[in-house]
Structure 1
């Protein structure tokens, strides 16, 4: 089968969107996922295309010249003090540039609030033809698949589904069987990376690996292939693999190339050895 690979912005966060797109073409990615919703985090570059006309034009030109597509934008956080309607300019620009998906996650324990906000987010996204992928994050308020299912099943919007990040899947101790009752059309993309077998017990160490120390696919203990196989052959494999040491060793371009090379090799080997019906 022909797997589709996307380069997630967190892997190469210092690259601007057009720089990402040109390099993704050179390296061999099919898509990019851009962080065009500015969160104001320490050291985070601002790639808000809705407020930076030149960056928008450069991004549009890069897409036209390369044929690489924007698959998704991030991050439409659900949190207190931020109305989801503030994301509309980013959604409008994403739709103009051909993106089809947006990533969201939930960072408040107020269930009534986050269910209302997430439903409103999905409704607004639908106006722009965007599918909302809810990601559970090990140190967030919605931190496992069970809690994500509750959100999806409660809001009942047809343009929403699940974004599994293999690191969070492993570290939130989700079982493979928990994926069995989810229709495959609810999985449009998956964040893939590997990680160590040990699961930290404190938030700081969880965050460190998540943002700075992920492994190349096949180098760690996460059953990535078994997870992805549950989602069907059309799921986009988005390489979210920030690792500051790898970047210091190789530079961003070589790191991004190694992300793709190791992932492709991993899936080629496992697809060749798989005996399920859609692999044969």
Structure 2
């Protein structure tokens, strides 16, 4: 089985250090962290200088790396300069990617380019994901924005739920530009999509299922990804009340079983 990461959104109430410890206890190899709020006053975990030092110590002690910073919402209210402290922290912690999603507004191309440039100057890549309630709401829209920007550090983030709910197909993945599928996030969900935006939001933020426990075509998505794609698991749940370590172990076991079934 390839190295596997645990997205912070799965346990957003855990501090970065507690997430790192939970990830190690469950068998994961790396984590993603929420270092910038997804909305005004939303929860995020940007450490101060002493906090960064302590987090590096915990990561080193647990043998857990930081892969990505999740999820930055690019909209007309966002000033790219406001992201730089999070990108600085990500760089200091050894992160490799930054996850973003985007609305459509007149300055989108310019704003996206500035974020990509700021990330590149810190040796970070940028992964853009589609969401059905955002302006950039299809894989093709992601590919087009990446092409418009022309930045060499951009990729399409294959979030299994969002890709499916945005009408994404296996053909979209097969026809993605070369080098575009750098990162993927796995989860499962019921086969039938919610009928309205409120339902889609509730599903994405608290209704995801363990990989292999739903009706998404995870096997097809996994086969369509390049072998070098880095895979994380993101399973926020409003109903699974098990302690974090117990739930993290269940997530890891379910994902490992999915990989094993693909190799059988």
TM-score between the two structures when normalised by the length of structure 2? 0.95
Per the TM alignment, residue 133 of structure 1 is displaced from its structure 2 partner at its CA by 0.3
Within 5 A, what are the aligned runs for 1:153-172? Answer: 153-172=147-166
- Counterpart of 2:198 in structure 1 is 204
- Counterpart of 1:252 in structure 2 is 244
- Counterpart of 1:45 in structure 2 is 43
Query: What secondary structure does 1:47 align onto?
Result: coil
User: Does 1:262 find its partner at 2:245?
Assistant: no
**CA offset digits 1:39-67 (Å, max 9, x no partner):** 3456x433112xx3343222111112112
- Counterpart of 1:28 in structure 2 is 27
CA distance in 1: counterparts of 2:44 and 2:156, whole angstroms? 26
CA distance in 2: counterparts of 1:82 and 1:193, whole angstroms? 28
Per the TM alignment, residue 224 of structure 1 is displaced from its structure 2 partner at its CA by 0.8
Q: 1:33 touches 1:72 (CA, 8 Å); kept in 2? A: yes
**CA offset digits 1:123-163 (Å, max 9, x no partner):** 11000000000011121111110111110111111100110
Assess, with a 3 A threshold, how the Cα gap between structure 1 residues 239 and 184 changes in structure 2: closer, same or farther: farther
Query: What secondary structure does 1:71 align onto?
Result: strand
Per the TM alignment, residue 184 of structure 1 is displaced from its structure 2 partner at its CA by 5.3
Query: What secondary structure does 2:2 align onto?
Result: coil
Query: What secondary structure does 1:182 align onto?
Result: coil
CA distance in 2: counterparts of 1:23 and 1:243, whole angstroms? 16
**CA offset digits 1:61-118 (Å, max 9, x no partner):** 11121121000002222111211121111111111111011001102x21x4111111
Q: 2:146 touches 2:155 (CA, 8 Å); kept in 1? A: yes
RMSD of the TM alignment (CA)?
1.4
Within 5 A, what are the aligned runs for 1:185-200? Answer: 185-200=179-194
- Counterpart of 2:210 in structure 1 is 216
CA distance in 1: counterparts of 2:181 and 2:173, whole angstroms? 10
Unaligned runs of 5+ in 1: 273-280
Q: How many residues align?
A: 264
Query: What secondary structure does 1:74 align onto?
Result: strand
Of 79, 83, 91, the residue aligned with 2:75 is: 79
TM-score between the two structures when normalised by the length of structure 1? 0.90
Structure 1 residue runs of 4+, over 4 Å off?
Answer: none
Query: What secondary structure does 1:34 align onto?
Result: strand
